[in-house]
Chain A
Amino acid sequence: MNLAVNSTMSPAQDHATREAAFAAALLDPALPMPAGLTTARGRPDPLRFAVYRNNVAVGLIRALEARFPVVEKLVGADFFKAMARAFIRTEQPATPLIFAYGDGFADFIAGFQPAASVPYLADVARLEALWTRAYHAADRAPLGIAALAAVAPEELALLRLVAHPAAALVRSAFPVGSIWQAHQGDTVATPASVAAETVLVARPDLAVTVTVLPQEDAAFAATLLAGATVGDAAEAALEANPAFDFGPAIVGLFALGAFTALETPDGASDD
């Protein structure tokens, strides 16, 4: 074995190593400016490196501000910026699709101690994240109610429904939909509700819709969108609330564009 260590790295390693140092220093202002940078005067200038640091921080914080405007209104611009700054150090965008950045922001907020007195904040962030996801989701025509009406009565309970790519639920112990709605105007209205809410985010065509479901339908919608059969979802809903009424609940979900196809027990699908 050759014990002599070759101290010169290959050019590719060198480039990669220096890039890593550059990236690390971008994200952590406590680190010194990377070695090897200079100016026309031949003197390294940390203020110039700070331009890159600032661009990264501002760019990512602005991306979060754009995706989470209600969270920002709730906590105020200064607090939001500080919270976002803490988040961007824990998670950078997975891809250059900057509109998709922040999928982990709600979970981060849930564990963010300075915001602990706003226990609904994370759920509002979940709703806003789903809004953008729905906005960019694939274009699919929602399944019309006629497809459901055509199902033989004895097959109804065994049916599974394929969720629309934009459709997703936020189930919250707080009035998350009402809080979100109250912040849509220039002035903040009083939330219409103080009760727990389950919200369906959908996009039947181009416009994203945010709909507060009747609370007795929440368990049904959640179970059904998770891929359970209609029968199992109805039973779960009845267990949670005996007042659950299947007909209006499923017609309502169809009308909101929650599904794209149905799968009958024999494996056939209809969209």
Chain B
Amino acid sequence: MNRQTLAFALAGSLATALASAALAGPLPAEKMVGMEKCYGISLAGQNDCAAGAGTTCAGTSTMDYQGNAWKAVPAGTCATMDVNGHKGMLEPMKG
């Protein structure tokens, strides 16, 4: 495609998209999208900052600094979730 044809095609495609968005009325931009095509899904989610230094003390009840190996099969969701034929089989870790 040469540059001029491209410019033409882009402008035409954009004009169509803007026009059909305008037909839907003066909606905020987020609403326009749905009119065009299913532009994905907006997903929720929230997390926030951890506490600061000196406030994360776990005392000595759980000694997490030690690289102790664990033996149990992981209780994560990847073990049951089939993603394109991948089912998680996490390997035990050595200390």
Closest Cβ neighbor of B39 among chain A residues? A252
A contacts with B: majority SS: helix
Contact with A along B29-45 (1 / 0, CB 8 A): 11011001111111111
- Interface majority SS (helix, strand, loop, mixed), chain B: loop
Interface residue A51 (Cβ < 8 Å from any Cβ of B): yes
Set of chain A residues within 8 Å of B46, measured between Cβ atoms? 208
Interface check A55, CB cutoff 8 A: yes
Q: Which of A7-15, A33-41, A163-171, A183-191 contacts B (4 or more CB under 8 A)?
A: A183-191
Instruction: Report the bound CA distance from A135 to B48 in whole Å.
Output: 9
The residues in A between 72 and 100 inclusive whose CB is less than 8 angstroms from any CB of B are 72-83, 85-86, 96, 98-99
Tell me if B77 and A184 are in contact (CB < 8 A).
no
Q: Which of B32, B53, B76 contacts A145 (CB 8 A)?
A: B32
Complex contact A51–B76 (CB within 8 A): no
Given contacts A50-B63, A231-B7, A252-B36, contact A98 B90 (CB under 8 A): no
Residues on A facing B (Cβ under 8 Å): 29, 47, 50-51, 53-59, 61-63, 66-67, 69, 72-83, 85-86, 96, 98-99, 113-121, 131-132, 135, 144-145, 148-149, 153-154, 156-157, 174-175, 177, 179-184, 188, 190-192, 194, 200, 204, 208-214, 230-231, 234-235, 238, 245-248, 250-252, 254-256
Task: Please report B residues at the A interface, Cβ cutoff 8 Å.
Answer: 1, 3, 6-18, 21, 29-30, 32-33, 36-50, 52-54, 56-60, 62-67, 69-70, 72, 74-78, 81, 83-84, 86-93
